[in-house]
Every structure is written in structure tokens, then in C-alpha cells.
Amino acid sequence: MFKRVLVANRGEIAVRIIRACREMGIESVAVFSDVDRKALHVRKADYAYHIGPATASESYLNVDKILDVARRSQAEAIHPGYGFLSENARFARACADAGVKFIGPSPESMEMMGSKTRARQNMKRAGVPFVPGSEHGLDIDAAERLAEQIGYPVMLKAAAGGGGKGMRMVASPADLHSAYENARSEAQRSFGDNEVYLEKFIVNPRHVEMQIFGDQHGNVVYLGERECSVQRRHQKVMEESPSPIVDEDMRRRMGEIAVRVAKAANYYNAGTIEFLVDEQRNFYFLEMNTRLQVEHPVTEFVTGLDLVHLQMHVASGEKLPFKQEDIKLRGHAIECRIYAEDPDNNYFPSPGQITRLISPSGPGIRRDSGMYEGWTVPIEYDPLLAKLVGYGEDREQAINRLLRALYEYFVGGIKTNTSLFRRILKDPDFRAGNLDTGFLDRLLAKPSNETDVRRPIMAAVGAAIFATMEAKATLPGVTGALPMNGNSASPPPISNWRRTARAEALRQR
């Protein structure tokens, strides 16, 4: 096993990997940009190196700087987390050249899966089901012919794409020309590659993905699916395992196909095969993510495994310690992605200082977090602060535990989307498992109608009592005024200007 591992990431995933290192007796090396000196992953690591300014391209995305730290810190391996360099085959190759183990698949597997059309060609040969459509980039004439053949609605997609960019739904032949041009130019702008392909548009699809794991000895297993249909603007917000519509038979079929995909790519380490599922529960290969997913904790809960530990073992050359038949799923897990964004104001990002943080714990609750009280959330990086994961004997208990944990969760100073999860978890369609990728947009279009007559009144009373306490705190010399049992735990905070004023008053005496 490695003695020292560099974690080329930040935020909650860096913390999660550093924790795994400590659990395995591996020393962890963190890297940080100018604005991350005080980040939690730096606090938790055994080593930490500064790698440059806030801009990711000059720090977390900079291959040379990362490899330089690997050399200086004598790290034997690099865990890329997700995002940043995690799916960058050039980086994986540079690691190999520098004699540092990249904790993930081979550069060849990553390259094969990196281009959607190439992946598609390989997968078709492996007998993987696809949404009917083209296998490669099309010119406009070919696109027109194919659309006629498979029938509208159809979808145009960027070959190099991801995250919803360069995608256009086309409802009828009249719209095809302009949509094609738009998709091409967006693809060019976003990915520097204007190749566009076309496929059948699936109505009310679900997004279900299958976790696979391979070792370097040709063994690949599947670890159950995740339902990821709850999305806002094509971004996942909540994920769960198992999926409410996947039964044992469907899981086995989907899992076996996922393993076939991985084997066709000579894949090892953690990977995820994304599928689109239609209303008849047919599923179609979408893409493969060649890294650890944000939502891996739900799989860890239902399998009882630790995927990051497993990544380390497999990367160091060990065989998978189990076979497919040893994997037993139990219970149900759901993850909420806690973002720094304001649900009451169009989900605008909300960076800033976290002035108060009260975190839930207790049975069935796991919290992977990159924040702490007093920390300032920087404006430069993505707004994922923490993941709150609930486990239960069944889906209902998992939902109810999450509602309980969200009731306890309090992030003060900045806005977070915790109220969104409360809405989702109480929604009858969600509770019935009636999900598709349009679910959340439909829910958010409805007015929120939570009303409570009592609590607004208590909010007013509370505010008045706080104000009274405050008034006292500003009046020096007022004593014994508050009717509080015992001594107050912490006196009301004194604002900075007030402290300065006092300091000046003292100085002038």
C-alpha cells in the first residue's frame, strides 16, 4: 500500500479522501490555492502545499504544479477526486511518466470514454443498448434523414459534451436547421469541438447510473445503481440507491451490461455507467464517468463498502477482495447536495462567511463536509459545501431521517439550499418514487405552500427577545437583567465596530 498520497482537489471530496488516507495509515498531501489556505482539507491533511492563485487553471488544474508537489512531497500516488483533473487523460499519462500512480483508470480507458462517439462505437460492438440515433458526428443532411427515420422528437448533442451544454431538443422538422446550427456553435464555444450527433428524444426519462469497480487483473463487479433523476438545470441535486424503479432482475441486467462496458474499455478502478431509462423501463447507455462520483456515499451505505479505500487497494495493484455474488445490498440511502445558493432568490450563488454552523448527526446520518464555522466560502469554486446522506431500512425511513437531519441543520451567514430538500422530501410524487429528469423543474414551478400560523409569531417573539439581549449588551454597566437560568453560554457577539469603538475609548483615556 502507498505510504503517501497527494489529493489533487479541494472541498468536501478532498476531506473525504484525506479521511480515507488516515484510516488506512497513508499520509495525505493537500494542495491549496491562495483563497484556500484556511480550507478544511488543509486543516485535516498531514502535508499541505501552496500551488498558486485562486484561478483553477493556475492551481488545481495545473498539471505541472501538481506534479511538482508530488515530487517535493515524495507522494507515491495521486487521487484526483472528481472534477478538476479527474477525467483528464493527459494528466493520468503525465503521472505515469513522472512515476506517480494515478488513482483511477488507465489513460487509454479514459480517452476511449472521453469522446462520446468513440465510446459509442466501442460499446455498440460490446452489445450495449443505445438510444436509437447516429453513432458519430453528422452533417445537416444526414441529421435530417436520420431524424425522419427514427421519428421526432429528437435530440442534438455535442460529441465532446457534458453537463447539458451543446444539447438541443427538436420537436419537428421545421426546427431542425436552426437547432443544429445553435448546437454546433455552442459545442464549439464550450468544448472547442463542433461535432454534433443526433438521437431519439426520450420522453420523461429517468437518469439511472450503475457503479462498477474493476481491478488490474481483469475482474469487474457492479455495486448497484443510483437514481439521479432529481436535477435542476441538468445538474444533479439529490441521488439515491437503490432506484425506486429498479428491481433485482433489472439490476442484474443493467449491472451485467455495465460490466461489459467496463471490460470493453479494459477499465479498472471506480467507474460509473450512466443510463437513460424510459417509461417502459427500457434503459439505454448514456456515458461513462471515469472517476469517483459525487454521489458515491449512497452506494457505500447500501453495499457497506468504502469505495475510496477500495480505490487505493486496486490502484496499488491488489485484486478486488470480493466477487459479484458477495455484494449484498441492504436498505436505502439518499444524498442531498448542500449548495451555497439562495433558493428564495433564483438559486443565486451565496458565497461568504459562515457565521454559525450547527450540524446534524445521530442514527443513519452521514455528513461529508468541506465547511466549518468561521470559514469564508470563496467565490471562485463550485458551490457544493457538503453532502448530507440519510440511510434507512427502507426508502421511507431514509426520507424521514433526512427530514429530521435537515430540521437540525443550520448554516448561518450564507444562504444554502436546505429548504429545497425539505420541499422535495415532502412531495407526494417524490415519496411515491415517481421521478424523471423533469421532476424538480415541475416542482419548483409550483408555489410553495407551507404555512404555519404559530411559528411566524414565535419568530417575532424570538427576534424581540434577541433585540432586548442585544440592547443590554450595548449598554455597559447594566447588570443582572436577563431572566436566564444559570450563566449564559456565550454572551451575544459584539460587533467589530463596537469593539473598535471601545478600544479607541480606552486608548483615549
Partner 1 sequence: MTYDVVVDGKTHQVELARGDKTWLCKIDGQEMEVDAVLTARDVLSVLVEGKAYEIKRERSLQGELHMVIGSARYAVEVQDPRSLRTRRAVAGSEAGPQKVKAPMPGKIVRILVNEQDEVKAGQSLIVMEAMKMQNEMKSPKDGRVQKILTAEGSTVNAGDTLAIVE
Q: CB under 5 to 8 A by kind: which of its own copies, partner 1, none does 483 bind? A: partner 1
Q: CB under 5 to 8 A by kind: which of partner 1, its own copies, none does 366 bind? A: its own copies
User: Rounded CA gap, 96 and 59, in Å?
Assistant: 20
- Please write down the HEC assignment for all residues of 340-404: CEECCCCCEECCEECCEEECCCCCCEEEEECCCCCCEECCCCCCEEEEEEEEECCHHHHHHHHHH
Q: CA torsion sign, 436 to 440 to 445 to 447?
A: positive
> Rule CB under 8 A: is residue 60 a binding residue for partner 1?
no
Minimum gap (Å) between residue 483 Cβ and its own copies: 11
Compose the 477-496 pattern: x for residues touching partner 1 by CB under 8 A, - for all others.
Answer: ----xxxxxx-xxx-xx---
Q: CB under 5 to 8 A by kind: which of its own copies, partner 1, none does 1 bind? A: none
User: Rounded CA gap, 53 and 36, in Å?
Assistant: 9
Q: Using the 8-state DSSP alphabet, how is residue 174 labeled?
A: G
> Active-site residue numbers?
291
Exactly one of 351, 367, 395, 431 binds partner 1 (CB under 8 A); which one? 351
Q: CB under 5 to 8 A by kind: which of its own copies, partner 1, none does 49 bind? A: partner 1
User: Rounded CA gap, 104 and 395, in Å?
Assistant: 31
Residue 108 vs 470, nearer CB to its own copies: 470
User: Rounded CA gap, 189 and 160, in Å?
Assistant: 11
User: Rounded CA gap, 506 and 243, in Å?
Assistant: 65
Is the separation of the CB atoms in 242 and 332 below 8 Å? yes
- Please write down the HEC assignment for all residues of 200-221: ECCCCCEEEEEEEEECCCCCEE
Q: How far is CA 498 from CA 464, 469, 476, 479, in A?
A: 21, 16, 12, 19
Compose the 401-440 pattern: x for residues touching partner 1 by CB under 8 A, - for all others.
Answer: --x--xx--x-xxx---xx--x------------------
At 120, which helix (H) or strand (E)?
A: helix 116-125
Minimum gap (Å) between residue 393 Cβ and partner 1: 23
Using the contact rule CB under 8 A, the part of the chain among 23-31, 135-143, 429-437, 439-447 near its own copies is 23-31
Q: CB under 5 to 8 A by kind: which of partner 1, its own copies, none does 269 bind? A: none
Cα–chain center distance at 68 = 28
Is the separation of the CB atoms in 239 and 231 below 8 Å? no
- One-letter identity of residue 106: S
> Rule CB under 8 A: is residue 292 a binding residue for its own copies?
no
> Rule CB under 8 A: is residue 451 a binding residue for its own copies?
no
Compose the 319-358 pattern: x for residues touching its own copies by CB under 8 A, - for all others.
Answer: ---------x-xx---------------------x-----
> Rule CB under 8 A: is residue 4 a binding residue for its own copies?
no
> Rule CB under 8 A: is residue 249 a binding residue for partner 1?
no
> Rule CB under 8 A: is residue 371 a binding residue for partner 1?
no
Exactly one of 174, 432, 445, 506 binds its own copies (CB under 8 A); which one? 506
Minimum gap (Å) between residue 392 Cβ and partner 1: 19
Considering only residues 14 through 43, tell me which ones interact with partner 1, judged by CB under 8 A.
29-30, 37-38, 42-43
- One-letter identity of residue 354: I
Considering only residues 394 through 413, tell me which ones interact with its own copies, judged by CB under 8 A.
397, 400-401, 403-404, 407-408
> Rule CB under 8 A: is residue 289 a binding residue for its own copies?
no
> Rule CB under 8 A: is residue 295 a binding residue for its own copies?
no
User: Rounded CA gap, 479 and 91, in Å?
Assistant: 64
Q: CB under 5 to 8 A by kind: which of its own copies, partner 1, none does 461 bind? A: partner 1
Is the separation of the CB atoms in 287 and 161 below 8 Å? no
Size of the site for its own copies (CB under 8 A): 65
Compose the 443-482 pattern: x for residues touching partner 1 by CB under 8 A, - for all others.
Answer: -------x-x--xxxxxxxxxxxxxxx-x---------xx
Q: How far is CA 72 from CA 18, 32, 41, 69, 392, in A?
A: 19, 15, 19, 5, 45
User: Rounded CA gap, 433 and 76, in Å?
Assistant: 45
Q: What is the grid cell recorded at 366? A: 452521514
> Rule CB under 8 A: is residue 169 a binding residue for its own copies?
no
Q: CB under 5 to 8 A by kind: which of partner 1, its own copies, none does 458 bind? A: partner 1
Exactly one of 2, 27, 33, 44 binds its own copies (CB under 8 A); which one? 44
Q: What is the grid cell recorded at 90? A: 493527459
SS3 180: helix
End-to-end CA distance of the chain: 65
Q: CB under 5 to 8 A by kind: which of partner 1, its own copies, none does 148 bind? A: none
Residue 172 vs 468, nearer CB to partner 1: 468
Q: Is 119 exposed, middle or buried (0-12, 13-18, 19+ CB in 10 A)?
A: buried
Is the separation of the CB atoms in 367 and 389 below 8 Å? yes
> Rule CB under 8 A: is residue 82 a binding residue for its own copies?
no
Exactly one of 8, 13, 14, 20 binds its own copies (CB under 8 A); which one? 20
> Rule CB under 8 A: is residue 346 a binding residue for partner 1?
yes
Minimum gap (Å) between residue 71 Cβ and its own copies: 23
Q: Which residues bind its own copies (CB under 8 A)?
A: 15-16, 19-20, 22-25, 34-35, 37-38, 44, 297, 300, 304-306, 308-309, 328, 330-331, 353, 359, 361-369, 374-376, 391-393, 397, 400-401, 403-404, 407-408, 476-477, 485-487, 489-491, 494, 499, 502-509
